[in-house]
Each structure stands twice: as structure tokens, then as C-alpha cells.
Amino acid sequence: MFATIRNLLLSALLAACATKAPAPLPARLGLLLSPADLGQSISLQQHLKVERNGRIEELDAALEVDDGHLQLVGLAFGQRVLSLDYDGKKLDSWRHVMLPQQVHAEDVLEDIQLTLWPLAVIRAALPPGWRIEDSALRRELFLDDQLVCLVDYTSMPRWTGTVRLENLRFHYVLVIQSLPNNS
């Protein structure tokens, strides 16, 4: 009897292994674009507002991009809570323990690049199944022809004014208000 049960379980296990499960969706797009690909140096002071699950979190940030590096420092209540340094190959980051667990350096970098880098650079780096469309003041990102992200701008160049990124896949809205750094 135990041999029969064992054989049934073994058969069920083998059948389960033989059944090909659908491939899971990638957790994120995976953009890792060179800072030089932005095409110019920028230095911005920003105010970020993230809306998720009915909650609003706010953060001030300083963003600098030149040919060799992207650096971002995030502040809440005057205290550093996040820093990123990306040279086009390696991303170094630091986060305060009080920063929500959903905030990952790779995701922050990806949102920055998705909103600011030129369309042609992003398009060339997209993995299979992804597509990006661009009009004067809007970007739309698709995965397998399903809209997953909208980015709306109030002015050109795109890092001036206000940027509103709505991630339909991960259900959050990021609003970025930028001012040129006068230093």
C-alpha cells in the first residue's frame, strides 16, 4: 500500500514538473542606461510626491547627471534617507532604515531614466516584449501591448516643470517638481 501511495505521489510530482508553467512577468523593466546617454549635464533640486494605496509620501531630492555619473540624494525632514551613485556600470546606494521597504534603488534609477533619457536610447535598451511611445508631453510604456506606465510632462526640456509618472502595473503615482540648481 505504501508503495502504491509513493508511486502515485511520484507520478503526480513528475506530471507537475512536466507541465510548463507560464513564465512570470519580469519584476521590473531593468533599464540601466549610461549617464552619458542623457546627452547633457543637469543639476536639479526636486520635490517628489509618491501616492500608493491611498498614502502620500514626500521627499526632497538633489539630482546631478553628467557624462560619468548620476547622483541622487533624497531628504525627508532635512535628513538624508536615500542616496544613489551610478556610473553606467555599477549602482551604489544607501537607504535609511525608516525608508519604506518598497523603495529600491534600482526602481528609483529606472524611473529617473524612463522619465528623462531620450526616447531612442530607451527604445534601444528595451527587452523583448516592451515598447515605448512618445509624443510632445507624454510617454507611454507597454509590455506585450498592455499599457503599464504613463509619463506626462508640463514643459520641455522634460526635466523642467512637473513630471507625473503613473505606474499602472505596480499601482503608484510619482510626481516630480524640478527647479534648476542655481549653484
Distance, in Å, from the CA atom of 149 to the CA atom of 130, rounded to the nearest integer, reads 11
Angle at CA 147, nearest 5°, toward 141 and 151? Answer: 45
pLDDT reported for residue 130: 96
Asked if the model's pLDDT at residue 99 lies above 60, the reply is yes
pLDDT reported for residue 173: 97
- Please spell the DSSP secondary structure of the chain, one letter per residue: -HHHHHHHHHHHHHHHHHS-PPPPPPSS------GGGG-S-EEEEEEEEEEETTEEEEEEEEEEE-SS-EEEEEEETTEEEEEEEE-SS-EEEEE-TTS-TT--HHHHHHHHHHHHS-HHHHHHHPPTTEEEEEETTEEEEEETTEEEEEEEESSSSTTSEEEEEEETTTTEEEEEEEEE---
Cell of 40: 547633457
Cell of 107: 526602481
pLDDT reported for residue 16: 32
Which residue, 80, 46, 83, 85, is CA-closest to 65? 85
CATH number (2.50.20, 1.10.3470, 1.10.10, 2.60.40) of 27-180 reads: 2.50.20
- pLDDT for 151-169, tens place per residue? 999 999 999 999 999 999 9
Domain coordinates in residue numbering, the chain: 27-180
* CA trace torsion 35, 150, 175, 65 (10° rounding): 10
User: Rounded mean pLDDT of the chain?
Assistant: 85
